[in-house]
Structure 1
């Protein structure tokens, strides 16, 4: 069971709490501005007539009550919360005797604007911004109608802070939406890559097994009357290959039926990752067994190793084996020859593979992956080319000038691996 990391301390504070703290900070700043602090000859702002009277204090308390009410509604009813916070700013401004709503009384509104823009749909954020700007304009309009002085310049600065708070919140909202869409897209791509990997594994294993079965069946049919023992051995090989193929198909189909495959933390390597449902992965260590099985089926496979055999990254090891398997399968199915050669050259910085044969070739090759018989496009060469490309390697396949067919692949090996 994976333990969840605790959230950072500041992340644990609710947005409503931050808004309430902003209101409290604004109220404290309002009183400090009207007191003569140490080192000052006079208060920065002259207190209004009713500021220290009971009615002024009651209005301050009423504004605080409205603000706290709005903070409580912020999580569930953002528009209603904005209405109460704006009303609180107007009520708390009245006893100050100023011509505009000061920034200190609008600080909580700015915080709430950011929260609404960052966590709610864009339409809700725009409604909240319109309410805030409308309140500022309405406050100035009422004072102008009544013939009182107004602080237009200071109010424009307050309106600018509200717009900036909304812009920052909207940017946060867009970034979160983009991150979520990217996560969903990466998850979908990972699922698709996993299914494509399973499809490649199914093609490689089933095609090879069917080719062996076809060869063994043909051999058994030719000698069933003259050499019953050899025919019995061929039929036994057919049964074994058939059972292994069916078992592999069951595992792969079971993996494909999973509605939501469990995705790894990182998508890298998915194309060659080993799902537990697919059983152990095959690698270059299994090439000799592949050669023995194919040779027993009637097509002799000669394996030549060059360089030092050393451990390779799993994705390179699996891809190399599958390329060899598919190339040998094509020899069995299409070449019409009794032998082929596999060369594996393990160097410091790359792994080179070459599979050649002397089979028949009718010359119909366009270099784009068409089948060797020229009857259309098969998935074998496409799959091999894709495996090499996913590992940033090179792949080529085509007829040899002296006759036959050659498949080559170069897979880069990270420096220091297997050293």
Structure 2
């Protein structure tokens, strides 16, 4: 038997002893003293109440009833007044009822409240007399109603807190799923687009220009390896909470891409038939990882759309390191958008989500002079601006 159970049973035994002393050991005390004594004695049942609340209610109900029906006060004291004071003991029952309503099932709460109500009404009706009958009945009903109301409010507050926690967990899961979806889309869509174009080129020239076909296959191999590395890196990040989920015998995975990899991204896009001019402005410096990755993914998705939809042979990427924000702009002179809008799928949606998470701004749409423009502004934290001033 655990220490908690021992203390609970000891408390229950002392409560029974205390009630016995009130009833038999202090027959000359007033009814008010008996009632207050029974009310204070219920504190001994805290351990029982936590583990077995129904048993605690039964003990409290029996103890309070024993105080009411036990020996009244001395003969020279009006018995009606004595019983009115003894009815205070039922406040202890109401306290236990409030706890049961707050913590137990609705069915158990309903049964216990109904049982307690019947017992209290019978005892008050049987031992209260004259003008005190109506007053004591009213007080008993109001006290029980107050205790049950407090219990219901506590139950609703606890259930509301549980619902809020469940909602927060669900929102966190959805946010994580969206983050993974964006990362996979931005990482895979660009590579698959390049692979598809290179495969098409290779299939057309494999007979007439074998050297060009070999170049296309080499580009497909390099892009595939890079994509596989990115997928493995993403999977490792997803399994990071499991210390046993390490891939043994492998070289360490490369860090997440950033703006430092734009030239390599431009070269891969050039292999797909679109020349990319990269322009950098402002004081270049290390950026926070989330901003660096998001800026890279925005450029990557914009270049993917240029390769797949623009129908042009070149585009321009401009990166400006401002004091307070990072500006990213991708402009092409291709077809722009059709009347119904370009079929960019989830690409631009993912861009907007990334920028929104960083509290930035983004515009994406056709230019009046032709082509398409994507422009994003990502706020930089104060530490990044301080870094510029230090240099």
* TM-score (normalizing by structure 2): 0.74
Matched, 1:381 2:348: yes
Q: Assess if the C-alpha contact under 8 Å between 1:301 and 1:340 holds in 2.
A: yes
Matched, 1:163 2:145: yes
- Partner SS for 1:124: helix
In structure 1, the partner of 2:308 is: 333
Q: Distance in 2 between matches of 1:320 and 1:346?
A: 12
In structure 1, the partner of 2:334 is: 359
Q: Deviations over 1:19-57 (max 9, x none)?
A: 969969x979x79xx99xxxxxxxxxx7259x9xxxx9x
Q: Distance in 2 between matches of 1:315 and 1:120?
A: 47
Q: Assess if the C-alpha contact under 8 Å between 1:397 and 1:405 holds in 2.
A: yes
In structure 1, the partner of 2:197 is: 215
Cα distance change on mapping 1:252 and 1:86 into 2, 3 Å: same
In structure 2, the partner of 1:8 is: none
Matched, 1:125 2:109: yes
In structure 1, the partner of 2:225 is: 243
In structure 2, the partner of 1:138 is: 122
In structure 1, the partner of 2:293 is: 318
- Partner SS for 2:83: coil
Q: Distance in 2 between matches of 1:134 and 1:262?
A: 56
Q: Assess if the C-alpha contact under 8 Å between 1:335 and 1:359 holds in 2.
A: yes
Q: Assess if the C-alpha contact under 8 Å between 1:306 and 1:346 holds in 2.
A: yes
Q: Deviations over 1:282-337 (max 9, x none)?
A: 22232232122222443221111222233433332222211111001111111122
- Partner SS for 1:360: coil
- Partner SS for 1:396: strand
Cα distance change on mapping 1:350 and 1:13 into 2, 3 Å: farther
Q: Assess if the C-alpha contact under 8 Å between 2:5 and 2:47 holds in 1.
A: no
Q: Assess if the C-alpha contact under 8 Å between 1:306 and 1:345 holds in 2.
A: yes
In structure 2, the partner of 1:100 is: 84
Pick aligned residue for 1:301 from 265, 272, 276: 276
Q: Distance in 2 between matches of 1:295 and 1:181?
A: 52
RMSD: 4.4
- Partner SS for 1:356: strand
Q: Distance in 2 between matches of 1:223 and 1:161?
A: 92
Pick aligned residue for 1:413 from 358, 375, 380: 380
- Partner SS for 1:95: coil
1:14 shift after superposition: 11
Q: Assess if the C-alpha contact under 8 Å between 1:306 and 1:344 holds in 2.
A: yes
* TM-score (normalizing by structure 1): 0.70
In structure 2, the partner of 1:267 is: none
Deviates more, 1:318-327 or 1:291-300: 291-300
1:101 shift after superposition: 5.9
The number of equivalent residue pairs is 358
Matched, 1:109 2:84: no
1:91 shift after superposition: 0.2
> Between Structure 1 and Structure 2, which shows a larger proportion of helix residues?
2
Q: Assess if the C-alpha contact under 8 Å between 1:308 and 1:346 holds in 2.
A: yes
In structure 1, the partner of 2:161 is: 179
Cα distance change on mapping 1:298 and 1:177 into 2, 3 Å: same
Cα distance change on mapping 1:321 and 1:19 into 2, 3 Å: farther
- Partner SS for 1:105: helix
Matched, 1:197 2:179: yes
1:76 shift after superposition: 5.7
Matched, 1:89 2:64: yes
Q: Assess if the C-alpha contact under 8 Å between 1:204 and 1:325 holds in 2.
A: yes
Pick aligned residue for 1:47 from 17, 29, 49: 29
Cα distance change on mapping 1:307 and 1:20 into 2, 3 Å: farther
